[in-house]
Homo-oligomer: A and B are copies of this chain.
Amino acid sequence: MKAVVSIIMGSTSDYPVMEKAANFFNEMEIPFEVHALSAHRTPDEVEKFAKNADANGIKVIIAAAGMAAHLPGVIAAMTTLPVIGVPIKSSFDGLDALLSIVQMPPGIPVATVGVNGALNAAILGSQILASSDPVIKEKVIAYKGNLKSKIVKANEELKLKEFKFKTN
């Protein structure tokens, strides 16, 4: 079993947020790896990782960082694999991380999701993998189809709320 997705984060303090991405890939039975790497504190390791990811069989990279969040952009500068950036909230409600990730200069895009959007990053990663993998595509279609259930259940719960002038 070889990982096709790498989840990279700057410290274990990001793990409680990023765990949702790990859970998603596990549930989808998509092999993945998880690394703690820092654009600023271990730049050489980041470079080694980013330059070899493609050759190592990785298809999509998910990189999470907070504050002046350089990690996703720095990785994207060293690979042609799609890099998904997850802004981690730690100050300014995550606006600093969001702008540091999404406002990349021309030439080096990062596919940015919402603040603390680890689950969406994983779903997006799966959608990218699904382009060339019909098995994953099936799973993504099934997953997206199931999203309705939470709302339907919510709707059922709302029906139980009783008001004299409520008609449903």
Contact = CB atoms under 8 A, between A and B. Distances in A.
A107 B144 CA distance: 7
B104 A74 contact: no
Contacts of A35: 155, 158, 168
B120 A104 contact: yes
Interface residues of A, number: 101
B111 A104 contact: no
B120 A91 contact: no
Nearest to A72: B68
A25 B120 contact: no
Contact of A102 (B68, B108, B167): B68
A37 B99 contact: no
A81 interface: yes
Interface string A76-110: 11101110100001011111101111111111111
B108 A36 contact: no
